Amino acid sequence: MSTEHNHEETMPDFAKVGQPVPEFVMESFDPTEGGFCEVDLGALRKEGKWAILFFYPADFTFVCPTELADLAAKHEKLKKLGAEVISVSTDTKFTHLAWKTDERLLADVKFKMAADPTGEVSRFFDVWDFDTGLALRGTFVINPEGMLVSAEVNYYNVGRNADELVRKMEANTYLKDHPTEACPARWTPGEKTLTPSEKLVGKVYEALND
């Protein structure tokens, strides 16, 4: 990982929701092109893209291919929302290539598979397990301005649900264009939102059911 940011800004030791994330570059395997490349967070920002970092423990394991297959099934929806999906583990780009070739569950994976063999990126996002040298199951959403807006971390034995990731992205992209509003629990596009103010205090039920 190499980072680029304004040193006059105070960057956190760990990624924190609501705080900026430094620009960084990671070596990756690109299943679409069938070769190696780099993931450049700075370049994604210049393109106005959201970034979704999907950390998982290791290639050639058990729950991990089911998660990546589930994510692959929602990849097109996430792309239409303006997001670049990037899976990340502490394996090398060469191991990513071999795993993608061997594991049939990964047949539809087209997003870039980034390599973090030193654990530097995993440590910054606070998913690094010092006992194993692996990353926990962490999902992080970074908006086009470089702010971390969503973070989820699971232990090794619980896989994630990409449907919920899509829902969160739909809410975040909506709120980017409607910053005075807020999305209630289980919100999906087309449903009512909330506009926080003194008039809403104690009247959320009425606002959602009028």
Annotated catalytic residues are: 64
Backbone angles phi, psi at 153, to 5 degrees: -135, 125
Amino acid present at 73:
A
As separate numbers, helices (DSSP H) first and strands (DSSP E) second, the chain gives: 7, 10
Tokens of 114: 């980034």
Beta strands in the chain (DSSP E): 2-4, 23-30, 35-40, 50-55, 83-89, 112-115, 128-129, 134-135, 137-142, 148-154
Chain-centroid distance, C-alpha 56: 11
**C-alpha to C-alpha distances, 190 to 46, 98, 183, nearest whole angstrom:** 30, 42, 11
